[in-house]
Amino acid sequence: MNTAVRRVLTLAVALLAVVGMAVAMFSAPRSFTGEPQAHYVRASATAPDAAPVTVKDLDPEAPLPDSAVLAAQLDAILGTKGDQTSFNAQVVDVASGKVLYDKNAQTPGTPASSLKVATALAALDTLGGEHQLSTSVWLDGNTLVLRGGGDVLLGDGESDPAHPKGYAGLATLAAQTAKALEDRGIGEVELWLDDSLFGDAQTNPAWDKSLFTSNNIGAVYPIAHYAGRAAESTRSAYQSDAAQQVRKVFAAELGKQVKVSTGGRGAYEGGEQLTEVLSAPLRVQIKHMLLVSDNYLTEAMGRLVAVRQGLDPKQAGLAVQQVAQTYGATGISLVDTSGLAAANQISPAALTTLLRAAATSGKPELRELVYSLPVAGYNGTLMNRLDAAATLGLVRAKTGSLTGVATLTGMTLTEDGRLIAFSIFAAQPNGALAPHKPTIDQAVTALRGCGCR
């Protein structure tokens, strides 16, 4: 059996395995972008052993669906609706690359949060799955510099490696800093904030003002706690200046042992590094990002890709676009990286191309991208979708919801055991929120049950 087939089989078996129900996942989804409030069980917690699961090995020679039979089924579901909602879609066999269904799939549309698939691939490809982001402290005389390196999931307490949020903790950073200052006999410092990594790319002119008032995004900085929110809960409000809030929290912790006054803000050259805390590995952050559809974290990832490519952080959309194009995705025009902007244009065909490229990649971090997508009926933004017996645990996909737009991009198995990638867009001209999600789910259910011969 060749390497490509083994990879496909491994992914398919993972899609079939229904395990770990004793581990808490996520609560109900939010409105507008479908972002749920995350809940995690700490690594120290214990859970009863899961019952053994028997998974039948897939046959690499399993028959492909007949494209004509599949098209007849999907066309009946995805026909234009009475409210003028139209659908674009593509279904591709992952092992062979054969297109099994195409409904205007090359036509670009607004992807909403399905775009996060492209951003995840770009970040993992550019930075690497094991890459960790540094939040560091530097000393120049009596000036102490707090420098952001792109970690927006800092926690206020001690570092906690059991959780992507708070993996690097400000209390830990302050304690390490206090010790380093004590060793140097320094008892008073002026705290400078270096949040210059993303330049002045805090917002995006393509974002509607309602995205801020509806608590779907905040100003993006390269140093933030809890993905720019006031607290760990994803229901907490975004802060107007997350970087300044990090400085306040750090200063309060450090001030328990050292006298701290507020200094300047911006790029700072010079000094010696005293200490740092490192984020969760990028692959862990990406999984969290995809599960809860975190807009702030995604925008930070896009800016990091731009910085690594030598582009202005304001060109994060272009940076992701360029990586996607190297993997064969065409007809793309991106103005952000989270999918919040209605002006983003990408086709279902481009997204299935990226999914298949990730699933069959020689890079393990890209193959892991597919495993990081929400699972139908179990977690993330799919916790309350596709939870019927026919699809429960057997679909992994990224949701997308905007006014007038609903999308779903992911993978499932046919009845005969073929692993397929799909991307479905719904667009409604009268502007209802996330139109016809049940219709999209009906189409995916048909894919899952398809023998189609």
Give the whole-angstrom CA distance, residue 199 versus residue 202: 8
- Residue 419 tokens read as 């692993």
Q: At what angle do helices 316-326 and 116-127 cross, to 10 degrees?
A: 80
What domains are defined for the chain? 3-128+284-448 (3.40.710.10), 134-280 (no CATH)
For residue 60, which amino acid is it?
A: P
- Are the C-beta atoms of 119 and 320 separated by less than 8 Å? yes
Query: Which residue reads 């801020």 in tokens?
Result: 212
Q: Give which of 442, 390, 440 is closest to 415, Cα–Cα.
A: 390
For residue 360, which amino acid is it?
A: T
- Are the C-beta atoms of 118 and 320 separated by less than 8 Å? yes
Give the whole-angstrom CA distance, residue 12 versus residue 10: 5
Beta-bridge partners for 75 = none
Per-residue pLDDT tens digits of the chain, which is 453 residues long: 445 444 544 555 444 443 332 222 222 333 344 333 333 333 333 344 444 433 345 667 889 999 999 999 999 999 988 899 999 999 999 999 999 999 999 999 999 999 999 999 999 999 999 999 999 999 999 999 999 999 999 999 999 999 999 999 999 999 999 999 999 999 999 999 999 999 999 999 999 999 999 999 999 999 999 999 999 998 999 999 999 999 999 999 999 999 999 999 999 999 999 999 999 999 999 999 999 999 999 999 999 999 999 999 999 999 999 999 999 999 999 999 999 999 999 999 999 999 999 999 999 999 999 999 999 999 999 999 999 999 999 999 999 999 999 999 999 999 999 999 999 999 999 888 888 999 999 999 999 999 888
pLDDT tens-digit series, residues 386-412: 999 999 999 999 999 999 999 999 999
Three-state SS letters, 79-135: CCCCCCCEEEEEEEECCCCCEEEEECCCCCECCHHHHHHHHHHHHHHHHCCCCCCEE
- Are the C-beta atoms of 250 and 76 separated by less than 8 Å? no
Q: How many other C-beta atoms lie within 10 A of the C-beta of residue 176?
A: 16
